[in-house]
Structure 1
Amino acid sequence: MPLVRIDAMGCDTRRLKALGRAVHQALGETMGIPDDDHFQILTGHDGQRGLLRHGDYLGVRRDDGIVYVAITLRAGRTDAQKRALYRRAAELAEEYAGTEPRNMFIVLTENADADWSLGNGEAPYLPPLK
């Protein structure tokens, strides 16, 4: 059950949807996330009311085409799965949205079963109360 936040500069609704599709497909292919487990917050920034800053950290030359992807998910994926996710998301973002792979900045935050309520004020991943 990942929660995905995508922020991109100069991004219209069509491109935001394409980026969301790329990340969701990559999660499915690399981590087995089901198609209907689809929770995303997609935000475009116009440079006036919202900005995205970036640098050339670790020798990656980013520009205003930067796309920040923050994924929160339950712990348990291997390093190999995470690397595969980063690679596949960058490939699909280039294919679907024209985003250069160097501009895909992805961060994963893992948490535990108790950290999720998906509705109705319940914690579906915890054992039922007695």
Structure 2
Amino acid sequence: MPFVRIDALRADPARLDALGRAVHDALVETIGIPDDDRFQVLVGHDGAHSTLRYGGYLGVDRDDGIVFVARTMRSGRGPERKRALYRRIAELAHAYAGTEPRNVFVTVTENESVDWSLGEGVAQYALSSAAVAEG
């Protein structure tokens, strides 16, 4: 169950939707999350009241088409699956939203099952893990 936040500069609702679909489809294809496991925060910044900062770090020539994708998920995916995910997000962001791959900046934060509550004030994954361990 990933939680995704996408921030994009000067993005209208259609572009934000396309970026959200790109990230979700990449997660389904490369990580194997269920299709209905979609939890996203999509934020467009107008450049005046809110904005994004970026540079040319590591020789990547970014511009105002910048998109930050921050993904939090449970740990356990290896480096190859993560690399495939990053590549697929960039490909689909280009295909769906016209975002140049050089402008797709992705971060991953991993945590454990007990770090999630999916509603009702319950750590559902931790309960499932405890039941499996006891059973």
Which TM-score applies when normalising by structure 2? Answer: 0.94
1:14 aligned partner, one-letter code: A
Q: Which residue of 2 aligns with 1:61?
A: 61
Q: Which structure 2 residues correspond to residues 3-18 of structure 1 after superposition, within 5 A?
A: 3-18=3-18
Q: Which residue of 2 aligns with 1:46?
A: 46
Q: Which runs of 5+ in 1 are unaligned?
A: none
Name the Cα RMSD after superposition. 1.3
Map Cα deviations across residues 74-95 of structure 1 (whole Å, 9 max, x no partner). 0000100000000000000000
Q: Which residue of 1 aligns with 2:35?
A: 35
Higher helix share: 2
Superposition deviation, residue 32 in structure 1: 0.2
Q: Partners of 1:33 and 1:20 in 2: how far apart?
A: 15
Q: Which residue of 2 aligns with 1:89?
A: 89
Superposition deviation, residue 49 in structure 1: 1.0
Q: Which residue of 2 aligns with 1:116?
A: 116
Q: Which runs of 5+ in 2 are unaligned?
A: none
Count of residue pairs brought into register by the alignment:
130
Q: After the TM superposition, which segments of 4 or more aligned residues of structure 1 sit over 3 Å from their partners?
A: none
Aligned-residue sequence identity (percent) comes to 65
Q: Which residue of 2 aligns with 1:24?
A: 24
Superposition deviation, residue 48 in structure 1: 1.0
Q: Partners of 1:51 and 1:103 in 2: how far apart?
A: 15
Map Cα deviations across residues 52-109 of structure 1 (whole Å, 9 max, x no partner). 0000000000001000000000000010000000000000000000000000000000
